[in-house]
Amino acid sequence: MSEAHTGQANAAVREADVLIIGGGLSGTLLAMQLLRLPGARCIVVIEPRPELGRGEAYSATELGHTLNGNAARMSIEPDDADDLTRWLQAHIAAGGWPESDKQSVPVAELFPPRGLFGLYAQQRLAEALVIGERAGSSLTHVRDEVIDLHTLEHGVNVMLKGGSQWRATSVVLATGMFPASRTAQRQSSGLNAAALDPWNVEALRALPVDARVLIIGSGLTMVDALESLNQAGHRGPIEVYSRHGLLPHVRRQPPVWEDFLTLAPQLRSPLQLLRELRRQCRVAQAQGIDWQAPLDTVRVHIARLWSQASDAQRRQFVRHVRPWWESHHHRSPPQGDALLQRLLKQGRLSIRAASLQAVDSSGAQPRIRLRPRGQAHSLWVQGDGLINSTGIEYDWRRVDKPLPRQLLQRGLIQPGNLDLGIAATSDGAVLNAECVPAQRLFAMGPPLRGQWWESTAVTDVASQAKALAQRLTILRT
């Protein structure tokens, strides 16, 4: 199933029915759905990592780096919400994840480690491969990187870093997420050159145990960074800076709330939605019900609301609502929040609203220039270590990788709404610089952030994979 390429050019152009660029969760779920469909097809996944199914998000090895959703919310089966719960029950019964008993909740309410979730995706892919092989399908994992591609009338030519080429009937950009901490920044702040990786525990162990650590960004990546520091044995002060100084709320398990958006289709604009959502939350709290209950009903409507909104409404949302939406909707797992609250109580952790102006890494210790929110002046702050926890980079113009650069330069793709991901049709066909949809080039998952806003959650990616697999089966010639 897997093969590696070392860098020597391969003169022969190899062929595939479907070639998937990216073998993280998005690419894996698409391959899984294709393998389950009737008919024989050759599926190739180009992924430089040694394993499929993990990608950036689920390669974490620390048990403290958990999903931010409980098992009942994270199934990779669009038509079976309990699939992950059943898999976890069997895995735990077989002796896997013995630490699960520390959470003291039903299996459906567990927040599994992200590495364990990657194993779940891998096992479901292996099961699909057995089904596919019976029908004559094959799956090949090529450990390489796609650096360019050319669209043809009846297919797509794909060039790999190792020198080999593939020709496929259809190609899918399932590139997943580009973490800002590992992505070249368009601005010249030099943040990543001076910053430590928020998930690299070994690198953080090199810091003095009492180091003063500065963190840029206060979202879920920051919560991961706190866990990484904790695992590294850090015991010093931690200062977190973000534009609004907002922390993610902890995820709880609220009761079911009436789907008020289905009952009120006239609510379309961000302002209308915000006002009604606040009203629903006040009603819930007056009844002694968690405010997260009404908020969670919005989840299934996000793609529709975003896609039907005007450009002005989208900009209004991003400018005025996004920080609060992120902190309320993308909530922290209980374990991560418990650590955060403990650090706050100990006085080791401080959260401050300030925007990053510059980074100075010329000395032995990093310095950052910050402008506190609401103030005109800026100030320099020095620490022993600096971590970039600004989350995900969705603007492909900032991603310093050959494929995005080539596709943008040659007009094969264009930035998505508000420069989020890339533009595509509702069925995932990529739009070129002239807004003409490609016949053989598709995208799914995080690259479609501008199309659907929430295009990174497991349930969203799983649904996209199933729909796109059905679409690709008709592109056989």
- Sequence ranges of the chain with CATH classification 3.50.50.60: 2-65+113-179+395-472, 187-249+331-393
The predicted pLDDT at position 102 comes to: 85
Helix ranges (DSSP H) in 107-190: 114-134
On the 0-12 / 13-18 / 19+ scale of CB atoms within 10 A, 426 is: exposed
Q: What pLDDT sits at residue 269?
A: 78
Region 2-65+113-179+395-472: CATH code: 3.50.50.60
pLDDT tens column, 50-91? 999 998 888 887 888 999 999 999 999 999 999 999 999 999
For every one of its 477 residues, what pLDDT tens digit does the chain have, with 9 covering 90 and above? 666 554 444 568 999 999 999 999 999 999 999 999 999 999 999 999 999 999 888 888 788 899 999 999 999 999 999 999 999 999 999 999 999 988 889 999 999 999 999 999 999 999 999 999 999 999 999 999 999 999 998 899 999 999 999 999 999 999 998 888 766 654 446 788 789 999 999 999 999 999 999 999 999 999 999 999 999 999 999 999 999 999 999 999 999 999 999 888 888 777 888 899 999 999 999 999 999 999 999 988 998 888 888 899 999 888 888 999 999 999 999 999 999 999 999 999 999 999 999 999 888 899 999 999 999 999 999 999 999 999 888 999 999 899 999 999 999 999 999 999 999 999 999 999 999 999 999 999 999 999 998 888 999 999 999 999 999 998 764
The count of other CB atoms within 10 Å of the CB of residue 374 is: 7
- What Rg do the C-alpha atoms of the chain give, in angstroms? 23
Beta strands 165-173 and 437-443 are parallel
Instruction: Please state the pTM of the whole predicted model.
Output: 0.92
Helix (H) / strand (E) element for 21: namely: strand 13-21
CA–CA gap between residue 381 and residue 389 (Å, rounded): 17
Phi-psi region of 407 (alpha: psi -120 to 50; beta: other; left: phi over 0): alpha
Going by C-alpha positions, the residue among 248, 183, 252 that lies closest to residue 394 is 183
Return the pLDDT at 188. Answer: 45
- Indicate if the alpha-carbon torsion angle 29, 35, 37, 41 is positive or negative: positive
Domain formed by 187-249+331-393, architecture: 3-Layer(bba) Sandwich (3.50)
For 46, the enclosing helix (H) or strand (E) is strand 42-46
DSSP 348-378: -EEEEEEEEEEEE-SSSS-EEEEEETT-S--
How far, in Å, are 18, 153, 154, 381 from residue 157 at the CA level? 12, 11, 10, 50
Contact at 8 Å (CB) between 254 and 293? yes
